[in-house]
Amino acid sequence: MIDLYTWTTPNGRKVSVMLEECGLPYEAHAVDISKGAQFEPDFVKIAPNSKIPAIVDRETGVSLFESGAILVYLAEKTGKFLPKEGEGRAKVLEWLFWQMANIGPMMGQANHFANVAPEKIPYAIDRYMGETARLLKVMDDQLGRTDFLAGDYSIADMATYPWVSVGFEMIKSLKGDIVGDGNNVSRWLAANAARPAVERGMKVPVVS
């Protein structure tokens, strides 16, 4: 059994999608980051950086935070969605780390400055939306060559889908001159959304 500590954010849903895809039994614990629950001592023991998601594997006793590390751990535990060796493994890790270092941070900052920051700073909004648009063009070009980011469906797609599914249309509408038509990303989004495990994972955690 896996204990999953998560919230209704793209980073959290990366891991719930993976757990659903692997068919691993898990219990989801909602960590309401809007109320500061991520700073509670019991959670900080599991996730010292006070960020969701985090897991505890009751079978092995392993406790992990950071979504990328969790995805790799679960892939290695189950032997699914990450090749064991060779170029295939390297490519999945390449696109997983691309998401971790680029899509997540840039989309997060774009959303913050456009929708959350008390002061609207045009330079910051344009900077982060423009960089997000450039990344989506990189992604669209890659998906013009492969069905999924690293060839076959993998943890790289699971990491990227929750972010792009909520931000793609907005960025394309505002920065279409950079993104282009985005047809390959649209196809990829539909392919991910059609997977039953993705649909289930994107609804975790259930909150009232």
Instruction: Count the neighbouring beta carbons within 10 Å of the beta carbon of residue 189.
Output: 18
* Both structure tokens of 82: 């990450």
Instruction: Count the neighbouring beta carbons within 10 Å of the beta carbon of residue 41.
Output: 6
Give per-residue pLDDT as tens, 117-166: 999 999 999 999 999 999 999 999 999 999 999 999 999 999 999 999 99
90 in Cβ contact with 34 (< 8 Å): no
DSSP 4: E
Q: What is the pLDDT of residue 208?
A: 76
Length of the chain: 208
Structural domains in the chain, CATH included, are 2-81+196-201 (3.40.30.10), 86-193 (1.20.1050.10)
Q: What is the pLDDT of residue 139?
A: 98
Q: What is the pLDDT of residue 133?
A: 95
Q: Residue 57 pairs with which residues in a beta bridge?
A: 2
Give per-residue pLDDT as tens, 22-51: 999 999 999 999 999 999 999 999 999 999
DSSP 81: S
Mean pLDDT, rounded, for 94-122 = 93
